[in-house]
Amino acid sequence: MRISPISLSFFSRYRYDPNGNQLVRETETLSPAGTAGESAMGFDVGGSCIELREYNGFGQLASVYIDGTSAAYRYKPDGLRYEKTVDGVAETHVWNGTNLVAEIHADGTVKAKYLRGINLLCREDASRQKEYYLFNAHGDVVQKRDADSGDLWYYVYDAFGVERDVDGQDKSLDGNPFRYCGEYFDGETETIYLRARYYCPAIGRFLGEDPVCARLNWYTYCGNNPTTYVDSQGLDHYIFFGDDQAFAAQSYRHQLMSIDSGNHVPIHMIYVDTNTTFYEEWAKMGVNSDGSIVPIDSVIVNLHGDPNRIVASDGTNIDVPSLESKYFDYLYLLSCNTGHLDYSDTNIAKQFLDANDVKIVIAPDGTHYRYPEIGLFGRTVGIINAVVGDETFDYWTTEAGQPLRESCGWIAYGYLNADQEQFVTFQLSPYWNNPRPTESGGHMGRRLIEIIQGAKNADERTFNPKR
């Protein structure tokens, strides 16, 4: 296999809209000044290529024109792209959570299906022929093989994802969209669709600003260190846990890693021995040692608790209203009865919601039980989270002066509008198909990644960010 060298004989100029989105990229080719045999001290400017982009009212890329090729894009309410049209040919994208699972032609026929396990496994075309993906340690697709393990395609990239030419391979004949970092590559623009933004490997930058405006440069990819990191969405996760939750916390960490398909999004594990530790670590959350801000996706708090308190491992209470306010998307509160609906105006879930700039807080209306998830050969492969209406739940119900009732399972706490006038609670159960009962007597048992998906589904249909 022979790799062709990369030519750098061009320069580009850029223009942006007031929101920081790239509108125009004008690229001009260069050739050495002078004739053969002469010493050249400059360059002559040759032909140019102009890229034009338009954005919708939400700052999403709506259309592109590049050197005779035009493309248009449409998005779902949750921000994921569901349709792309290139030179008049449209296709629809079907998603399962944040994973693309199928591409559909405009006439309704299937172009391709994508099968996944822990990672992307294979592509199945309309004739049901399967092509299997092989990845390197960085998460890049490096080979594509058929069902008989015959090599179909090789992929080679530089550090920032520029795809190198391989002798004997014509890129235009390859219909596979998953390339660098295992993410979706738009061949018409030679950019990578990373859900929140588009990344251009040729310049090693995003086309738009970081949506949470973190760090000094809002266009950099992986902090200019793509050999170590991959920026699938660019958002960190934090897990706070105590003595009794250490094993579960490791299980949650592995599940979060599977969500990001091995993309090395930082997951911060924080052991909470005292309430002082919690206060200090909460204050540090989302802040680098140099003081720059790190964007946060999810925060998981897994400590003992009840409707009125959560406690550190040494039994000291954590005063939630006194915490430093943080900006992030989702809080998963896995502490017993902290989302008890008979205390919905004052419980710990509501306190976290009001103390922070957070979209949704997920908490249990009942006692949180953890059960082992059993895999092959009887091995424990993970944790199942169940919400149970047991004696402890009944105690808090009667303490609130309410008649005994059934637990409502996992509850989402949030606001319907940004001015915090419409506070609502919402049962996550309607957003799950095929509920999976556990030995807890019919209450729903879920892996953390399923709770996360339920929260994102509820966010898409019900809530607006408190921003």
Given this model, what pLDDT does residue 312 score? Answer: 96
**Residue 2, phi-psi category: left (phi > 0), alpha (psi -120 to 50), beta (remainder):** beta
What is the rounded CA–CA span in Å between residue 168 and residue 433? 47
Listed residue (392, 404, 459) closest to 428, CA to CA: 459
DSSP 54-98: EE-TTS-EEEEEETTEEEEEEE-TTS-EEEEEETTEEEEEEEETT
**Which residues pair with residue 294 across a beta bridge?**
none
φ, ψ dihedrals at 131, nearest 5° = -125, 125
Buried b (16+ CB within 10 A) or exposed e, 22-35: beebebbeeeeeee
C-alpha span between 111 and 144 (Å, rounded): 18
Amino acid at 236: D
How many of the other CB atoms lie within 10 Å of CB of 394? 15
Cα separation of 320 and 351, whole Å? 6
Q: What does pLDDT average to in each consecutive run of 10 residues of the chain (467 residues)?
A: 49 80 76 43 54 88 90 87 94 86 94 84 90 85 84 87 79 82 90 88 84 62 65 71 88 70 65 95 81 77 96 96 90 94 95 90 90 67 80 94 90 74 68 37 60 68 48
Domain ranges of the chain: 10-224, 236-461
Are 364 and 347 a contacting pair, CB within 8 Å? no
pLDDT at 353 (0 to 100): 92
Nearest to 313 by CA among 238, 392, 244, 240: 244
- The Cα–Cα gap between 27 and 49 comes to 5
Instruction: Give the pLDDT of residue 414.
Output: 86
Side chain identity, residue 462: T
Q: Which residues contact 376 (CB under 8 A, 6 or more apart)?
A: none
d(CA 202, CA 193) in angstroms, rounded, equals: 14
Reference 349, options 408, 391, 295, 406; nearest CA is 408
